[in-house]
Structure 1
Amino acid sequence: MASLARVEAREASEAEAAKAEQKARQEAVQAQIAAAVDAAVAEERAKAEDNAAEAAPTSPGGGGNVAPDIDWNAVPATDLTLFYPGQASFEWVQNGKTHGGARPLTKGGDACTTCHAKEVTAIGTKIVAGGEIEPTPIPGKRGTIDAAIQAAHDDENLYVRLQWPDAGHNPAPFIDGGKMDPDNQVKVAMMITGTGIEMGETTGCWASCHADNTYMPFDPGAEAIAANADVAGRLEAKDTITKYLTESRTKVEVKGRRGKAQGGWDKLKPAEEIDQLLADGTFLDLLRVYADGSSSNGYLLDRRVANDGEMAAEASLSGGVWTVVFSRPLKSGAPGDVPLEPGKVYTVGFAIHDDYAAARFHHVTFDTSLALDDETAQINVSKQ
């Protein structure tokens, strides 16, 4: 009993130290964001005094053009830590040989956060350094990104704002010039889980990350894709395979026994079955924002698809802090858009492609809850 007491005391002390470290890091991020806001406001005031600006600012301190009537100072912020996942695919997390939590996930119904909510920083730091699930590490790349996320709504639209510190450039050694996406210093994605997705509510966007996607261990390569012309044509794929849902395939290899390639990119269901899944709401709603403020609305099912859903966005870097704001209708009616309704809780995921990253070299969140005017959700979309 005395030994147990000592162990419990040590664990409590370590947990308290970790909590204090996390709080200090988040406070530092908030301080940097506040400094960036003050700098942006001061800059705009100076411009106004010099009659150099004709339009309202789109700085981190104001509503901007996308959310002109939203008072962000009145919207509560949620501090989320996004971590670097490496090649940890949907197959990897379900395989007991590679992931110790496979059985609680697949059999027990546990969410990723059930086991890993307090380990996000440790996980990202370990993976980014290189190893089993990161065979091509990028020297200097950070393992986590601490972001402040705010969400609001009016009678018609959802508004989301993300802010996080920039970290400078660390060239990718396996890419000429060191930049995987030279046109976009950052990209931001938000995914909203639809219905009927295997472990969709417990894993969120992880359900779309497969072992045969781009830069993943079983990426089939351009030759194999070209050799399967029918599937490649339907997927509009040439060199690589985008993310997809298991529900869109007749079979997805998870265990990889006897040397079988994991994934199921070429096991595509008939087109009429894919259409029915879309009609049933079995998809991940995907909203993307690029460094220049442009955006795309779409969804993930058999592949990544752009739809006709409305969306507006803006992005800026000021005082060493990135600010991305975007909006979309609560109920657009467009195929691939999840309608957002009061009284429902949605599983969402966020991804940040930082430092000109592409494909899997991003930072992501675990399963995150979002709801309209519900303080029990991690992200409470407050009415304004």
Structure 2
Amino acid sequence: MASLARIEAKEAGEAEAAKAAQKAQQEAVQTQIAAAVDAAVAEERAKSEGNGASQAAAAGDGGGNVAPDIDWNSVAATDLTLFYPGQASFEWVQNGKTHGGARPLTKGGDACTTCHEKEIEAIGTKIVAGGEIEPTPIPGKRGTINASIQAAHDEESLYVRIQWPDGGHNPAPFVDGGKMDPDNQIKVAMMITGTGIEMGETTGCWSSCHADNTYMPFDPGAEAIAANADVAAQLEAKETITKYLTESRTKVEVKGRRGKAQGGWDKLKTADEIDQLLADGTFLDLLRVYADGTASNGYLLDRRVANDGEMSAEANLSGGVWTVVFARPLASGAPGDVPLEPGKTYTVGFAIHDDFAAARFHHVTLNTSFALDDDAAQINVIKQ
């Protein structure tokens, strides 16, 4: 009993130290963001009419062009840590041989955050260094990104602002020029979980990340895709396979027994079945913002699809801090847009591709709760 008491005391001390370190890091991030905001506001005031005002406003007190009536200073921020996942696919997390939490996840109904909420920093740092689930590490790439997220709404629209410190450039050694996406220093994505998705509420956007996607271990390659012409045509795929939901396939190989390739890119359901899933709300709503402030609205189901849903955005780098603001209607009515309603809680996920990254070389959140005017949710969307 005395030994147990000593161990418990030691573990409690370590947990308290880790909590204090994380708090200090988050406070440092907030200080950097605040300094960038002050710098942007000062820059805007110093400028005569016009030049650069909208970008400065996006980072400052006002809502900028995208959210002109939102006072971000009155909207509480949620600090989220995004971590580097490597090749940890949806199949990987369900496989007990590779993931110790597979059974609690698949059988017990535990969410990813149940086990890993306090381990995100350690997980990201370990994976990014290289190993089993990162065979092509990028020297110097950070394992985590600490971001500040604010969300607000009015009668018609949702507004989201996300800020994080820039991490500098660390060239990818396996890409000519070191930049996977030279046109986009950063990209930001928000995914909203629809209905009827296997483990959608507990895993969030992880349900779309498969072992045969781009840069994943069972990426089939251009030749195999071309050889399966019917599936390739339905997916509009040539070089690689985008993310997709298990529900869009007749079978997805999880265990990989007897050398079978994990995933199910070529086990596609019929176009009519896919259309019915879309009509039923079985999709991940996908909102993306690029470094130049352009944006795309769409969804993930059998593949990544752009829809006609309304969306606007802006992005800028000021004082070493990125600020991205985007807006979309609460209920656009577009296929693939999840309608956002009071009294409902949604599972969302955020992803940041920093340093000209593409495909899986991003940082992601675990499952995150999101609701309108509900302080029980991790992200409370405040009405203004």
Residue 57 of structure 2 aligns with which residue?
A: 58
Residue 227 of structure 1 aligns with which residue?
A: 227
List, as ranges, runs of 4+ consecutive aligned residues in structure 1 with deviation greater than 3 Å.
Answer: 51-59
Residue 267 of structure 2 aligns with which residue?
A: 267
3-state secondary structure, aligned to 1:58: helix
Deviations 1:160-219 (A, max 9, x none): 000000010000000000000000000000000000000000000000000000000000
3-state secondary structure, aligned to 2:192: strand
Residue 214 of structure 1 aligns with which residue?
A: 214
Residue 237 of structure 1 aligns with which residue?
A: 237
Distance (Å, rounded) in 2 between the aligned partners of 1:287 and 1:102: 29
**Residue 331 to residue 134, structure 1, CA distance change in 2 (3 Å):** same
AA aligned to 1:214 is: T
CA RMSD of aligned residues (A): 0.9
Residue 109 of structure 2 aligns with which residue?
A: 109
Distance (Å, rounded) in 1 between the aligned partners of 2:27 and 2:346: 28
Residue 143 of structure 1 aligns with which residue?
A: 143
Residue 22 of structure 2 aligns with which residue?
A: 22
User: Identity percentage over the alignment?
Assistant: 87
- 1:58 to partner: Cα distance: 3.2
Residue 42 of structure 2 aligns with which residue?
A: 42
Distance (Å, rounded) in 2 between the aligned partners of 1:52 and 1:304: 37
1:37 touches 1:59 (CA, 8 Å); kept in 2? Answer: no
Deviations 1:258-300 (A, max 9, x none): 0000000000001110000000000000000000000000000
- 1:55 to partner: Cα distance: 5.5
TM-score (norm 1): 0.98
Distance (Å, rounded) in 1 between the aligned partners of 2:41 and 2:59: 8
Distance (Å, rounded) in 2 between the aligned partners of 1:331 and 1:82: 28
Distance (Å, rounded) in 1 between the aligned partners of 2:380 and 2:278: 27
Distance (Å, rounded) in 2 between the aligned partners of 1:54 and 1:28: 27
3-state secondary structure, aligned to 2:118: coil
2:58 touches 2:65 (CA, 8 Å); kept in 1? Answer: no
Distance (Å, rounded) in 1 between the aligned partners of 2:242 and 2:220: 12
- 1:364 to partner: Cα distance: 0.1
Distance (Å, rounded) in 2 between the aligned partners of 1:180 and 1:171: 9
AA aligned to 2:151 is: A
**Residue 12 to residue 268, structure 1, CA distance change in 2 (3 Å):** same
- 1:59 to partner: Cα distance: 3.7
1:41 touches 1:59 (CA, 8 Å); kept in 2? Answer: no
AA aligned to 2:326 is: F
Which runs of structure 2 are paired with 1:23-172 in the superposition (5 Å)?
23-48=23-48, 51=49, 53=51, 57-61=56-60, 62-172=62-172
Deviations 1:237-270 (A, max 9, x none): 0000000000000000000000000000000001
Distance (Å, rounded) in 1 between the aligned partners of 2:259 and 2:285: 34
Pair 1:315 & 2:315 matched:
yes
**Residue 264 to residue 52, structure 1, CA distance change in 2 (3 Å):** closer
- 1:54 to partner: Cα distance: 8.9
TM-score (norm 2): 0.98
**Residue 70 to residue 8, structure 1, CA distance change in 2 (3 Å):** same
Distance (Å, rounded) in 2 between the aligned partners of 1:55 and 1:82: 30
Residue 258 of structure 2 aligns with which residue?
A: 258
AA aligned to 1:181 is: D
Distance (Å, rounded) in 2 between the aligned partners of 1:118 and 1:69: 36
3-state secondary structure, aligned to 1:251: coil
Distance (Å, rounded) in 2 between the aligned partners of 1:100 and 1:53: 54
Distance (Å, rounded) in 2 between the aligned partners of 1:17 and 1:95: 33
Distance (Å, rounded) in 1 between the aligned partners of 2:50 and 2:376: 45
3-state secondary structure, aligned to 1:149: strand
AA aligned to 1:350 is: F
In the alignment of these two chains, the number of paired residues is 382
3-state secondary structure, aligned to 2:33: helix
